[in-house]
Structure 1
Amino acid sequence: MDDMRPRASSRAAAQAVPDERSWLQKEGAPPEEVSANDRQSGWWQRVRAKQKIIILLLLCLLGFGIRYYIFEQQSRSLDAYLGQSCRISGRVVFQRERAKGYEYYIQAEKIAFGQADFFPSHLKFQFYSSEKVQVNSQITVAGKLSALAPPKNPGEWDQKSYFKGKNIYYQLKKAEIKDRKVFRPNLIQRFREWADRQSSCYLPEKEKGLFLSLFAGDRSGLDQELTENFKKTGISHVLAVSGLHVGLLALLLNLALKKLPLPYAVQFGIIMTVLLFFTGFTGSQASTVRAVLMFGILQGSYFFNRAKEPKTAYLLTLLLLLLYNPFYIYDIGFLLSFISVGAILFLHPFLLADKPKYVRMIGLTVIIQVALLPVSSLFFHHFSLSAVLANLWIIPAISYFLGIGSVALLFSWFSTAAAQIMAGSGYYAAQAAMRAAALLAGLPFSEVPIRAMRPGEIALFYAIILAALLSRRKKLLWGLLFAVIIFIPYTWQPQLGMLNVGQAESMVIEYRNKTLVIDTGLTANKSTVTYLQYRGKYRIDMILLSHLDKDHAGGLENLLAAYPVGSIGIAESYRQLDGGNLENEELIKVRESYYQLLKLAAKYQIPVVYWQTGDRIEIADLGFQFLYPEAEEMIWASNDFSLVAEMEYCGSKTLFTGDIGREVETLLLERGMLNEITVLKTAHHGSKYSSSPEFLAMTKPKLAIISCGLYNRYGHPSPLLMQELAERGTQSRVTAWDGAIFLHFSRNGEVIIDE
């Protein structure tokens, strides 16, 4: 009984640092004054002593590879039926209310494609419906089998990987519930409903939403501003049920049970039963499963007459979970949980074991934040400098609020008044946490944009940490300073990204520390913002609008709201529309768009810069020469306001053409403005009314890039244009078919397509 003391339980479950002796340091190690030969000999002896461990790790890696292969094959088992109508009978295992209807996961028992019926073993499907169905209901749903789509552009939400982490590989489009058998909600569902109902009796709406997120993993009632503040301060993980919550629950249970005359085995059984129920109650999230399993291994070591070894329990938990479900590597909660605990168990004692207590306490947060840098770069695209203060200030208050709120929930079973009294101090703790989060989030250094790391960079980052731990050489960690270079969003050579924004256009040019956005896509376009976040950008130097049609300038306000912008560039010829009476209806609409742009620029206090033939932009050795239109160009169509510019870098030339038609192309030919180029940004989404044979014959592009939507109603790109390009030996890339297009410009004049 004494073995399950509150301190021991909280240490195991809440992830406190165990014995500070290194997991690799052998007792009786030789002093530092030993000779180099003795040191080398000692190193070899340690390697030999760990041969069994190395072999075991290799076997584990092999086991993981085999399991991953099996799961990967299962994830493609229905690919042959994609696009077909089907009926699925099974049990609803998840329901979440959305803005328009409900989202469901169904555990299939039978799938019917026409006359063929079969029974998959573990396949789950995702679908949306306007009908409300209780979890655990037996239903039959009809729809079209569809694959979960990968992101269209870097930085966007990866729907495919997200659901892969939940072992969901397909979704049903146009789903319709045909049949249902409503069952009485199970114990977990009834308890969820009871907690929701009871917490309303003693907490205001905002605090109730926070409590249910912490207690039950239900984020539907979370205040949006609160969520954003927690994200900026680097503690958004607190809003999801994790090891911290498991640790608090285990501590409360241990405090309640330790005074009772119960054997250790009974105490252990009660706590594990409650923790397992809590795991199911909160949705069996990977971070919760990790904490409960690790706690069980640690406390269960008593039955095998073994000492509690948190590091061994950590590695065994990691192994068991990855063998059980190798797709956990796609679950962000799993990654955050294991990397954080690994930093606590291995890095923290390695670096700060001999430091004063206050240094170790502050250093713990810093070490965790550094260890999480690659994950933060991939999923959040920023690093929070206020996380240290947030962890010292906000997390204790949130933990207190969760503990008091849980006790108040228990009291509400007997008396609402008692629950309200009990919850009073918790309410003020929540208020303090929310105000602190708002204060820290408002600081200028609250979050620093960082570029998303590539797989090779992530591998190098953790390889340096692993090498330092294995060799016991802290100096190796200085190699992590290279991470500073990795994360700085600096582009040594020009890079052009044509984003996949559907039947619209948006491009980003990066060079040195400058960022130029050409066109912003449709009003609903958020891809340009997410891509810039992915690239770690903190400002946009110029937004250059080729013209003001909605498919090129509609998404402007999304960028202005998200980033500081140096200026907005448009054609000088728009000034001709000021004042006077216009009889041309199209020009009247163009003038309205122009005035809307000026109002938007004034709203965000962004200067508007006008460009005309002969003007030039220079970024170091990269030049932008404007070829069209002239200041007083006679223009009668919206598309013909398009800026035409040539970008030159070390001998390579890229021509940007907006939506010009053949008339403007002829004008450019007559004025002698065109030369041979390397890359052509094909005008008007590859329309047959642009890129004439004469224009292509003069420019002789080696590569043509085209932005258009898949299956668009205009038939873009034109088959005639694609044939013309092919006959001229011009390579082509189309966003509708190839996704986002990325080009790198080298100093020898070569243009490299990032495949």
Structure 2
Amino acid sequence: MVCLKQPQILIGNLVFALCFSLSVINFQRSFQSKIYLKQTPITGQLQVYADQTKVNGNLVTLEAYCPQIKQKVQAFYQLKNQDQQQWWLENQANLQVDFTGKINGINVPTNENEFDYRRFCETKKIANSIYIQAASPQLEKKPGLVGKLHEVRRRLMLYFARLPQPLGNYAAVLLIGYQPQVFADTLDQIRNLGLLYLFCLSGMHVFYLLLVIKRICRLVKLSQEATNLLTLCIIPVYALLGGASLSLLRASGMIFIANLMKLLGVRTWNSLNSWSLVVLVNLLVNPAVVFSLGAQLSYLLTLMILIAPKLSDIKLGVYLNLLSLPLILWQTYKWNLLTMALTILIIPIFEWLILPSVVLGTMCHWLRPLCNQVLTACSLGFTLLKRLPMEVVFGKPPLIIVCFWLGLTLLLLVKPKKRLVICLLLTYGLTFMMIHLPLTSEVVYFDVGQGDATLIRDKFNRTVTLIDTGGKVAFTKEKWQVRQSKTAGQTVIANYLLSKGVGRIDQLVLTHQDSDHVGNFPSLSQVITIKQIFIPAGMEKLPSFQGRVRQARLGQTKIWPVTVGNSATLRQVKLLHPFTAGKGTNECSLVLWYNLKRTSYLFMGDLDRANELVLLAKYPNLTATVLKAGHHGSKTSSDPRFIGKIKPQLVIISAGRHNRYGHPHPETLATLAAANIPYRLTAQRGMIKIETDFFGTKLVDFAQQTGTSSFLD
């Protein structure tokens, strides 16, 4: 109606829509043209700011500019000794790194709802990764103003690392926007409580900085014009020192524009105009920011405050949660019931306790012990709150529903009506039921690289069984070489389960002891509740398995060593092997059979050829519609006589791209070809899913779902 009454607004919106569409098309074409589709040798130089280096064990990660290809890249370099590690840890200068290596496009996700690292890099305008084979770093001799600011930020990082902890970690996060690796657990707790926005540099922190500037200017009796001019100079500097995150750039941009308009004497300019201009510039310069949760929350929550500036603290907290909830569910699939109350209660604590403790502890040596104790108590409080059973696994709502919730919440903010509240609550309830009571059963073969992980999920989520967890083969490393990172158990399996509204595994079946089958079990247990674990009898005595049990978070989880005839507690699937206790080796692998509506599935673990024939002798009538090939398609499994007798209509092979073992072996593929049996390989197809509902059974692989011919070069 407003647009019809004021045609200039309609024309303006149409012009912006056209410009934005052209900007997106141009951005995507430009970005896609930069991607190296195949690994390519490259020699050149990287220009690296001092604060854009991260050391994780024996791996250095760099965000750098490469003049040879005229684009920003992410580079990885494996350190050869501890002296090199120490040099990179202590370096405070910008670098020019001469290197030889290989460049390739950043990998796309190959599993449904896996964290999309390529899209994350796209928000930083990074299209490629360089794997450095040889490097010669040299200090930049004459850095410019921007380069000097990056060096100052790096020095602050090192200074905060030397402070008592957690004071130094809080200072790094709240003052310069840097998140130390050692602070990751605390930040995860804060994130799960829904309070991470307080600990990301944004409008609140810039507001405090602006308040300090104004008070200092008043003390020295500077004029308003001089204060505005000083603010214009300081805000961009702080944006760089704070890491130039999307939320910080939004806040800094708004304040910069507002002060500029004051200096120019534009009296009709307001905060909503500043917000709109920053949004326009951001979307036109980098359209990929719309995919960033931080940017989404920053812009939307700021818009809400601008639309309704006179809300009470309680109403503000409620609306902040209502507006952020759809986006958080879309990205993280869960919600903590304490978040709404904590949002209201913690802002005063943050303003009057946490932030002052960080500032005073950083600047005043004699107050440092007291401030550190205060922050230690805060961290303990976050830990205790996180342990309360208040987290609800909601699942991933459809995008159209997310947009509907956002629109309805904004409408409710402008016109609060009971009918809108009822509609909002009703759609949340119906969406929750739709996710948690699916009408489809499924068997999911995850792509976990060179490993194995398969999910069986009945309709209505009645029983959830996971067969193996994937994992990496562990090689002996010195302490300084060990890296801290999330596993595929967390980023692939847990993400998928949570997105489907599943927060527990009823049965975790670990087929045998190998790391590529059970290595992710401890990390997965930190995210997903595991009710029962089934292992081949004898494996429970192995030191390697006992070590993993100690690392896991199991609580009341029961561990059942099983053999055929001694597996009464195992439901949903039938155990076919082993017949006697062993040592958890390939020869002792658990073999499982599952049947659903005339489609039968056989899961072989890493069972060898000899025991495949023993299995046939024990079960002469054994057949399967879908066979999970043993040992990743190795020639030590899939005996031609076994394949000929089972007569599967489809074989699934789980193996990693370019793996060192040559899986699947040509001999195995020849066996399948001779029997005229098709196969699908996770290395090529990504996650493979077989769904069964009232209408029948269908097979969907992730490459097909995303319109990709193959993930394998």
Q: TM-score, normalised by structure 2?
A: 0.81
Q: Which moved more, 1:320-329 or 1:187-196?
A: 187-196
Larger Rg: 1
2:135 to 177, 183, 189: 177
Give the corresponding residue for 2:233.
Answer: 273
| Partners of 1:501 and 1:527 within 8 A in 2 | yes
Structure 1 position 173, deviation (Å):
0.5
* Paired residue type of 2:342: A
Structure 1 position 275, deviation (Å):
1.1
Q: Tell me whether 1:625 sits opposite 2:574 in the alignment.
A: yes
* Alpha carbons of structure 1 residues 389 and 183: separation in structure 2 relative to 1, 3 Å: farther
Give the corresponding residue for 2:395.
Answer: 451
| Partners of 1:629 and 1:642 within 8 A in 2 | yes
* Alpha carbons of structure 1 residues 679 and 367: separation in structure 2 relative to 1, 3 Å: farther
Q: Tell me whether 1:546 sits opposite 2:529 in the alignment.
A: no
Structure 1 position 565, deviation (Å):
2.2
Gaps of 5+ in 1: 1-44, 112-119, 413-418, 578-588
Structure 1 position 214, deviation (Å):
0.7
Structure 1 position 602, deviation (Å):
12
Give the corresponding residue for 2:481.
Answer: none
CA distance in 1, matches of 2:585, 2:356: 63
Q: Which moved more, 1:86-95 or 1:691-700?
A: 691-700
CA distance in 2, matches of 1:105, 1:644: 46
* Paired residue type of 1:516: T
CA distance in 1, matches of 2:95, 2:46: 8
Give the corresponding residue for 2:277.
Answer: 316
Give the SS at the match of 1:320: helix
Task: Name the % identity.
Answer: 24
Give the SS at the match of 2:637: coil
CA distance in 2, matches of 1:616, 1:438: 39
Give the corresponding residue for 1:684.
Answer: 631
Give the SS at the match of 1:334: helix
Residues 556-595 of structure 1: pairs in structure 2 closer than 5 A:
556-571=521-536, 574=537, 592=542
Give the SS at the match of 1:501: coil
* Alpha carbons of structure 1 residues 307 and 709: separation in structure 2 relative to 1, 3 Å: same
Give the corresponding residue for 2:450.
Answer: 503
Structure 1 position 286, deviation (Å):
1.1
* Paired residue type of 1:98: V
CA distance in 2, matches of 1:497, 1:480: 32
Give the corresponding residue for 2:559.
Answer: 608
Gaps of 5+ in 2: 475-485, 706-713
CA distance in 2, matches of 1:371, 1:264: 36
Give the SS at the match of 1:516: strand
Structure 1 position 248, deviation (Å):
1.0
| Partners of 2:607 and 2:637 within 8 A in 1 | yes
Give the corresponding residue for 2:428.
Answer: 483
* Alpha carbons of structure 1 residues 334 and 406: separation in structure 2 relative to 1, 3 Å: same
Give the SS at the match of 2:278: helix
* Alpha carbons of structure 1 residues 426 and 255: separation in structure 2 relative to 1, 3 Å: farther
Give the corresponding residue for 1:516.
Answer: 465
* Paired residue type of 2:504: R
Give the corresponding residue for 1:35.
Answer: none
| Partners of 1:548 and 1:593 within 8 A in 2 | no
Deviations 1:278-317 (A, max 9, x none): 0011121111110111223344444454435333332322
Residues 171-570 of structure 1: pairs in structure 2 closer than 5 A:
171-178=129-136, 180-183=138-141, 186-189=147-150, 191-192=152-153, 195=156, 204-220=164-180, 223-258=183-218, 262-302=222-262, 303=264, 305-346=266-307, 360-400=312-352, 404=356, 408=360, 419-420=364-365, 430-431=375-376, 433-445=378-390, 447-462=391-406, 464-465=408-409, 475-476=419-420, 478-479=423-424, 481-487=426-432, 488-511=435-458, 512-513=460-461, 514-522=463-471, 526-530=487-491, 531-536=493-498, 537-570=502-535
* Alpha carbons of structure 1 residues 63 and 750: separation in structure 2 relative to 1, 3 Å: same
Give the SS at the match of 1:76: helix
Structure 1 position 228, deviation (Å):
3.5
Structure 1 position 543, deviation (Å):
0.8
Deviations 1:666-705 (A, max 9, x none): 4444455545543222222123343344444444433321
| Partners of 1:206 and 1:222 within 8 A in 2 | no
Give the corresponding residue for 1:164.
Answer: 122
CA distance in 1, matches of 2:549, 2:223: 75
Give the SS at the match of 1:541: strand
CA distance in 2, matches of 1:532, 1:204: 34
* Alpha carbons of structure 1 residues 55 and 195: separation in structure 2 relative to 1, 3 Å: same
Deviations 1:512-534 (A, max 9, x none): 33321111223679323332244
* Alpha carbons of structure 1 residues 196 and 550: separation in structure 2 relative to 1, 3 Å: closer
| Partners of 2:174 and 2:201 within 8 A in 1 | yes
* Alpha carbons of structure 1 residues 331 and 594: separation in structure 2 relative to 1, 3 Å: closer
Q: How many residues end up aligned between the 2 structures?
A: 664
CA distance in 2, matches of 1:473, 1:283: 41
Residues 55-94 of structure 1: pairs in structure 2 closer than 5 A:
55-79=11-35, 82-93=38-49, 94=51
| Partners of 1:662 and 1:690 within 8 A in 2 | yes
Give the corresponding residue for 2:653.
Answer: 706
* Paired residue type of 2:465: L
Q: Which moved more, 1:277-286 or 1:459-468?
A: 459-468
**RMSD over equivalenced CA pairs, Å:** 3.9
Give the SS at the match of 2:124: coil
CA distance in 2, matches of 1:605, 1:296: 55
* Alpha carbons of structure 1 residues 602 and 81: separation in structure 2 relative to 1, 3 Å: closer
CA distance in 2, matches of 1:254, 1:681: 68
Give the corresponding residue for 2:104.
Answer: 146
CA distance in 1, matches of 2:545, 2:42: 51
CA distance in 2, matches of 1:637, 1:106: 46
CA distance in 2, matches of 1:728, 1:476: 61
Structure 1 position 593, deviation (Å):
6.8
Structure 1 position 409, deviation (Å):
8.7
CA distance in 2, matches of 1:277, 1:67: 28
* Alpha carbons of structure 1 residues 136 and 103: separation in structure 2 relative to 1, 3 Å: same
* Alpha carbons of structure 1 residues 480 and 272: separation in structure 2 relative to 1, 3 Å: farther
Structure 1 position 382, deviation (Å):
2.8
Q: Which moved more, 1:278-287 or 1:144-153?
A: 144-153
Structure 1 position 61, deviation (Å):
2.9
CA distance in 2, matches of 1:602, 1:318: 44
CA distance in 2, matches of 1:338, 1:280: 20
| Partners of 2:173 and 2:179 within 8 A in 1 | yes
Q: TM-score, normalised by structure 1?
A: 0.77
